[in-house]
Chains A and B, each alone.
Chain A
Amino acid sequence: MKRIILPLLLLLNTVFCLAQDNYDVDLIPANLRPRANAIIRNQETLVDMKAVDNVMYSVKQAITVFNKNGENSARLVLFYDKNTAIKSIKGEVYNEVGKLMGKFSQSDFRDESAVQDFSLFEDSRIKHFLPSVNTYPYTVVYNYEIRFKQNLIIPDWTPKPANDVAVEKSTYTFICKPAEVLRIKAQHLANAEETADEKQKTYTWKANNLPAVKAEPYSPLKHFYQTSVKIAPQQFSYFKHHGSYNNWQELGKWYYSELLKDRQALPVATVETIKDLVKNEKDDKAKAKKIYQFLQEKTRYISIQIGIGGFQPYSAADVDRLGYGDCKALVNYMQSLLAVVGIESYYCVVEAGTQKIDLDASYASMNQGNHVILCLPLKADTVWLECTNQKIPFGFLSDFTDDRTVLACTKDGGKLLRTPKLTTKANLQVRKADLVVDAQGNISGTLNTNFSGSQYDNRQNILYKPFTEQQKALQEDYNVNNIRFDKIEYQQYKDVNPQLTENLTVDIRNYATLNEGKMFFELNAFNIQNAVSDSKNRILPVYINRGFTDVDTVIYQLPENVIPFITPISKTFKTDFGTYESTATLNENKLIYYRKLSVNDGTYPASSYELFHKFMADVNVADHLKIILSLKK
């Protein structure tokens, strides 16, 4: 018996040696197959920081694609610009059993500019490639090497690129000189193996056997739960700028002194105009408001990003002459204008978007934040300004940058500040409808709605459109068959807490249905809450990014031909996620429908998803409540 086992073992051993580069699909562990459209068989990422202006970034990656949906993960996309040079790319494609099918090199890559839609110009470009294979599964192996001429931004290592991709094996190795000081933030990962000698030190992280998972609705952003390693060297170089930092304070200091300072000179004429503009204003807030108005009238947002210009604003004089600029340039310009009348303000870096993302207080780095806003620390209160939008009210940030940690770059160094929160209570939509139902079931009347908080923006896409386009857009929004608007009117109350009022005259033919001596209609004509989809075997916490409150009162004046009698309706649901209340009562021939829905922001345990789902489903059912009235005989 023993004699047989030994050669077999030997055989296995040889197979294992070959398996280093064996991409036979049968070798993929069964537990990594479910839900995976692709799997990273092996990835080795190596960053070798030879000097502050010479960082070699090399990746070897073997990825098996199971089906068409997995192809996105197989596509290799590399960005490059003046600071980033692609040194080499090559690769191979293997079939299901791991047989080599073909090779490719840099010349097979498509080269395109990487200018984003909102930009006039950027100097970054991409090279991308996807092998054309029609039979799945197949494996593609890439080897590429990139040289960064800077070390201010070292790409974060995130071994699992997407939900539908599993990872069999992935390693990250970072090499630098022994004297380099690094700040490292590793998340959901065992500590690095460290080795050091007099020439270099090496850190290695491993991530193995990460399964593919299903996307879950209302989950926190990937940032919070994904496996990752972020590295920030203390000494750095970027487009010939040098510096060092260990924390936000120092990074903000460098930002201010290297990139912002001395870009604020204004032409004398503009200085005079500003002084003249505010000469009758007593307090700083009123002055700032006038200057903000001046900014909004004079400038518009145009994005141009070239080289260091990705971080450094155009000078205030440029903006003054051209009348446009990107977020950095406009903030810098506004700051210069305020400085003319002695108002202090901070240039603040923020990660913008309706999803709230904080700058990480425990880890300072340059690749956080994608936008800039201005903060005015006035004596009475702090005012925040969004400088790229010509229509937004003074002091209002909207849900684009509310409630998050930002970096203020000041002459005293960086400071972490927090933007004001738009709360569930403040994000208010209050609607009142006064409608007359006629004997045929047609309804007509007025519909007045007040929007505030984050809901102030609900109508921004409609507000400035011509009447016919407003008509179309509102028909989409209200989504009631046969709805028509005879009058559409908006009033804006532009303030730190702005409000928008919508006044409509509405007419809905055949809203109520008459059938066999009865009249039917849905009580809640205008504000049906959609249910949320179920999320079985929930893993991630439930995350509601922003709360809101909607209050609707609809009064239906009933026609002569119905018998004014209903059984009063009252529905109430109270949960941690929010509350709902709806009632229908009759006052002579007036049917009064009242509805209030509040949804609270916050993070809730995964196990509570079922309750959340039930709450929203209950609301949806209650929102569809029909009333049945008998017609007089």
Chain B
Amino acid sequence: MKYLLSLCFVFIAFNSFSQDFNYGSATHNDNDFDRKTIDSNANAVVLKEFGTARLQLDEATGRLVILFEYHVKIKIFNKEGFKHADVVIPTYKDDNIQEYVQDVNAVTHNYINENFVQTVMDRKALFTENRSKYQSLTKFTLPNIKEGSIIEYKYRIQSPLIFNFRSWYFQSDIPKLHSEYLAYIPANFNYNVSLRGFYKLTDQKAEVSRECLRLSGQALDCSKMTYIMKNVPAFIEEDYMTAASNFMSAMHFELAEEHMLNGSKKSYTKTWKDVDFDLVGDKKLGSQMKRKDVFKEIVPDLIKESPDDLSKAKAIYNYIKKQIKWNNYYGKYSEENIKNVIDSRSGNVADINLSLIAALSAANLDAEAVILSTRENGLVNKLYPVITDFNYVVAKVNIGEKSYLLDATEPLLPFGLLPLRCINDQGRVINLKKPSYWIDLKADQKSTTSFVLNGKLNAEGKIIGNLSTTYFGYAAFNKRREIKKFNSVDEYFEKVDERLNKTKISNHKISAVDSVEKPLVEVFDVEFSAHDGTSKSQFYISPFIVSRIAKNPFNLNDRTYPIDMGAASDERIVINIELPEKLNLQEKPKDMAIGLPNNGGRYLLQTNLTDTQFSVNQMLQLNKAIYGAEEYLYLKEFYSKIIQNQKTDVLLKASN
């Protein structure tokens, strides 16, 4: 009896320590679970998922670490769901610190002949892959997976990265029945906690857990926070979407302050004022912005022929673009100091753009830094500073009343245009002397394309003419990138010619490929069949011979998330065809003028015949960079109407 009692006691103690479910057993409820109750299309479902994170002193290093324990049970319904039995746990490492994965246990439960048969995963099935300098992958796969298997695994991660505590994702690519997270936060630590995504917590609880952590012999109490979400649908990505993390339901943490045992307080992120102070003083950010000295010899030479500040800024921007090559790494912090960057001629985003700021300052221009989060990195928290949200930095130069945002990582960008990856809501301007502030990161220019085709229709039904295309803004940037993929402009046109199946092109010319400040103009002669020439008295021709919309980009029936196009766009098409003789316009597509609600965009079409001049004018504008999910069906219908109309031809008839 006594024995039983103590056993009970142990059990209860364990239970109050954590409400984790028992490892290693499957129930009939698990086995009989009908996916129809949550999502009849699911290939696998998380039955239960439980995580605990706590701060602990690592005896070996004397450092505080996060101890994160994870335990999950997943039901696999079909072969498509087998991939959930292959698990990858990424962990961070660098020269100084490392995260460790420990105590991985996994078991497969199969219900065979009215019995649960368990197959425990071998140590042999566990691998650690040293992926790169900064990442390790712990990988394992579960044995004996069949349709209907229940898999269960648990592991522990010890991480020295205490700043973000440990984020918890309630949502993943399969539905979850029950997802529960328990965070033990010591009373002397203050974390800012935020819930992202579309779904609300089903339940949350705050309790006190006594003496959960001992530091320097002193016992500390913890807030024991429980967050529960039930019946969470799978997250499904859609086209034209920014980072999935903006929309996926998850709990995020950021260390705000730490109360030291001696009574002092260490603030991590509290107000922008504190952050400004830290960033301006940071060796990898503010200090690098200040290094005018690196450029004091080069800059006077660069700007000696510049009459005004704007042309000085342009000269310096062009110099940095040419001088330093981007190593394809993002970052708001410089990896090297910028002196080395100038010597090695290579660096990450911060190396390059902080160099640019220092160089602009060396020319006595008013330059600031703008830290931001790229589109795939998600949105930043605007309620309070969450410095780890930012992953990129660009320069801002103020000249007179105007200011320009500059990114010198892409040689093909013109002055004042940011790459699309940076166009993501707002960034924070960091000034060496003044308080920081928010700035809109909007596409400064539209993606604009304008086509002009002048040609003659001959008696055989061929149109011979000249097509001139002008690209501005992002359209020019993208086109330049495409052309640069070829060794020479001739080879580019050779490809264009081979790609256009029904059109022959010749006498191509292109201007301003390398003068990125100017619009890009592409001109060539074209020759193609408009009709087969068998009937001279009456024939159909299509007026939509340039940039015809073949496919509706919004073809689906519904939409959950906003539609993010990056930048507004504008396309104009002007076609003038000289006819071989006077003809009558017997039939033609209806002239159109349609728009999207709230001035979201419009499309105009006009066809005309005067004498022997046949002309077509089209304009397609999309005025917004981001459309709400509720606007999807308008966009769909808008494009559908255009496509519908573009199916009609013009019937020309000889006047008898």
Contacts and interface: CB of A to CB of B under 8 A. Distances in A.
B336 to A, nearest CB: 12
B640 A113 contact: no
B551 A481 contact: yes
A324 B587 contact: no
A324 B487 contact: no
Contact of A113 (B131, B411, B501, B639): B131
A534 B502 CA distance: 10
Contacts of A466: 40-42
Contacts of A115: 129
Contacts of A302: 86, 141
B166 to A, nearest CB: 25
Chain A interface mostly helix, strand, loop or mixed? mixed
Contacts of A366: none
B647 A120 contact: no
B197 interface: no
A132 B485 contact: no
Interface string B306-328: 00000000000000001111010
Given A110-B133, A533-B498, A617-B501, A481 B555 contact: yes
A479 B551 contact: yes
Given A69-B487, A113-B129, A322-B125, A468 B41 contact: yes
A41 B487 CA distance: 18
B648 A520 contact: yes
Interface stretch (B8-16, B75-83, B248-256, B460-468): B75-83
Contact of B587 (A515, A535, A617): A515
A239 interface: no
Interface string A43-84: 000000000000000000000001111000000000000000
Interface string B124-158: 01010111110000010101111000000000000
Contacts of A521: 647
B486 interface: yes
Nearest to B87: A120
Contacts of B41: 465-469
A533 B551 contact: no
A519 to B, nearest CB: 11
Nearest to A518: B587
B91 to A, nearest CB: 14
Nearest to B642: A481
Contact of A324 (B145, B552, B590, B640): B145
B498 A534 contact: yes
A134 B324 contact: yes
Interface in A437-485: 464-469, 471-472, 475-476, 479, 481-484
Contacts, number: 140
Nearest to B551: A479
Contacts of B141: 120, 302, 324
A620 B557 contact: no
**Most chain A beta-carbon neighbours within 10 Å: one of B127, B324, B485, B486:** B127
B145 A300 contact: yes
A35 interface: yes
B345 A133 contact: yes
Nearest to B499: A533
Contacts of B122: 322
B86 A35 contact: no
A552 interface: no
A125 B540 CA distance: 62
A521 B540 CA distance: 14
A73 B126 CA distance: 36
A132 B501 contact: no
B487 A36 contact: yes
B220 interface: no
A219 interface: no
Interface string B46-64: 0000000000000000000
Interface in B74-98: 78-80, 82, 86
A297 interface: yes
Nearest to A441: B644
Nearest to A628: B540
A227 interface: no
A112 B132 contact: yes
Contacts of A66: 487
A159 to B, nearest CB: 20
A391 B79 contact: yes
Interface in A506-524: 509-510, 513, 515-516, 518, 520-522
**Most chain A beta-carbon neighbours within 10 Å: one of B82, B322, B551, B647:** B647
A259 to B, nearest CB: 20
A510 B327 CA distance: 51
B133 A113 contact: no
A222 interface: no
Interface string B493-521: 01001110110000000000000000000
A531 interface: yes
A111 interface: yes
B325 A134 contact: yes
B581 interface: no
Contacts of A516: 586-588
B239 to A, nearest CB: 10
Contacts of A471: 556-557
A538 to B, nearest CB: 11
A80 B297 CA distance: 45
A35 B491 contact: yes
Nearest to B485: A69
Contacts of B498: 533-536
A120 B86 contact: yes
Contact of B139 (A120, A322, A628): A120
B129 A121 contact: yes
A471 B464 CA distance: 43
Interface string B618-656: 000000000000000000000110011101110000000
A531 B501 contact: yes
B617 interface: no
A37 interface: yes
Interface string A114-147: 0100001100010000001111000000000000
Contacts of A323: 119, 143-146
23 contacts: A35-B487, A35-B491, A113-B131, A120-B127, A120-B139, A121-B129, A132-B327, A132-B346, A133-B345, A298-B144, A298-B146, A322-B144, A390-B79, A465-B80, A475-B555, A479-B551, A481-B643, A484-B557, A510-B644, A518-B587, A520-B647, A621-B502, A626-B649
Interface of B: 40-42, 78-80, 82, 86, 119, 122, 125, 127, 129-133, 139, 141, 143-146, 322-325, 327, 344-346, 411, 484-487, 491, 494, 497-499, 501-502, 540, 551-552, 555-557, 586-590, 639-640, 643-645, 647-649
The 6 closest A-B CB pairs, nearest first, are A466-B41, A132-B346, A323-B144, A121-B127, A531-B501, A534-B498
Given A520-B648, A617-B501, 11 more contacts: A37-B487, A67-B484, A115-B129, A121-B127, A132-B346, A134-B322, A304-B127, A466-B40, A466-B42, A482-B552, A535-B498
